[in-house]
Structure 1
């Protein structure tokens, strides 16, 4: 199977060739290609043009409505205007390079920010409320039938200023049980991980990221399937 990345085109028609049984796509530019599988990726952009920029200032980076740590807008009416989900830019929370959390416009984060803003609005939460402090990025999905879990700064997000010699990655893959594991460490402490398949490592890795345990002594053996991390750090 060959991988081909297509940008700035749409699928006009998808059909199966009656003679060969091959999947055929016709693209918006008129191109016809044969494929085994199609993976479509779509980004999200804030749509806030209807709201006055004085009342709700925007982020210059992505056009989202700037909010403070409690999801209140930073404009003159911040006490009465909240922005959550895809509409907002959470730079106040995402700016800390030591925190393994960053904003990604996903449904899970939209739900979390909405619930948090509602609690702040009725006075039962503040910026330091336990359970709503966005300590670690997490996302769970499925890809080609396999469970995919992303934890923390799994793709080195927010680490541009960290010297390369202080960043280490280890990975392992197993065709036998269709699993893949990759971890990212900064100065020996785990900051992110990618888990594909049924690895049963997600809870252990999440705790290691949050606790900031120095894992330098393990080296590549950190991912040795014979090493029972869950019992080791229990």
Structure 2
């Protein structure tokens, strides 16, 4: 996959991992379009991304996904990469009957999984017109193992992981479309502050690993602590019947 001259849409690109990826790709000579729910935060991010563009909207809402997809198709017909990064996560104590665990799980599954499927489907016809295209899904180390703090978030990322594998298999014979999955560990962002994000790796490390993977068409992109788990698990998965 080329790493310059792309037109890239990044959901949740106004902060955290998404912003770090936007910075990296912008500096490398790509046309970057970032998305965020907050117009104020979006404009602040764009001031730091010289020459980049923004589309405000909440991709967890179906009508917003359609609107954003139509804007991309109209304004950026050369779009050849989408990075599905926007996410939702909640501390979710399954033992607390008053915690409304199902509602939190619904929001996570809708944002982290259903929205990615729908948005990718909306833009697939446009991507398939390009000579070199990619879908990049930002997954998580949590896709491999749930825990008592983020059990339903982990489940949503496991679902995203399974979908990404299926999407990659679906287009395995199409040499023009590549499907990447990035597995960050704990990352020091505002998004992860509630779960001790200050102890995590910098978001720039995730961006650097993705960029390096694009250069060599490495579709599985474990980052930091995820590399050890991925090295153990992935060979078994790859040898399993698809």
Q: How would you bin the TM-score normalised by the shorter chain?
A: under 0.3
- Structure of greater Rg: 1
TM norm structure 1: 0.27
TM norm structure 2: 0.27
Q: Which has the higher contact order (CA 8 A, sep 6+)?
A: 2
